[in-house]
Amino acid sequence: MSHPCLTCGACCAYFRVSFHWSEADPALGGQVPFELTEPLRAHERAMRGTSQANPRCVALDADIGRYSRCTIHDRRPSVCALVPASYEFGAASAQCDKARLAHGLPLLTPADWVGVGEAEKNPLPEL
């Protein structure tokens, strides 16, 4: 069984992805591709496509509910890594649930993780 996020993508097509501008500044060690971002507020940038009425991150390659991948997964903003899928680490995720419901997808349950190895799960970032 594969990671449920690989057949979802709902969060990337529901939420605005905003983060500190330094994450997109290569001179400061930022890894998010600057050209995929846009200014938001004085100290924030957002992923292009996520600050609109029907958000969809420019880095999302997906048919929501069928297949999904982030084209910059290894360089994505830190806030993206902070949204776990429901039950990925044993508890429901309000953000995951809200995005899935908005796209007509069923909520994830613990059964969706049977057969997904620990090495396949997205590690929670160290805070």
Full 3-state SS string of 1-57: CCCHHHHCCCHHHCCCCEEEHHHHCHHHCCCCCHHHEEEEECCEEEECCCCCCCCCC
Mean pLDDT of 93-102: 97
Residues paired with 45 in a beta bridge: 19, 39
Mean pLDDT of 40-49: 96
Q: How would residue 121 be classed by pLDDT, with cut points 50, 70 and 90?
A: low
Question: d(Cα 77, Cα 60) in Å, to the nearest integer?
Answer: 13
Residue 126 has pLDDT above 50, yes or no: no
Q: How would residue 127 be classed by pLDDT, with cut points 50, 70 and 90?
A: very low
Residue 39 has pLDDT above 80, yes or no: yes
Q: Residues near 58 by Cβ (< 8 Å), separated by ≥ 6?
A: 36, 47, 48, 49
pLDDT in tens, 45-77: 999 999 999 999 999 999 999 999 999 999 999
Tokens representing 71 are: 């084209």
Q: What does pTM read for this prediction?
A: 0.88
Q: How would residue 2 be classed by pLDDT, with cut points 50, 70 and 90?
A: confident
Mapped onto helix, strand or coil, the DSSP state of residue 58 is coil
Domain spans in the chain, listed from the N-terminal domain onward: 4-115
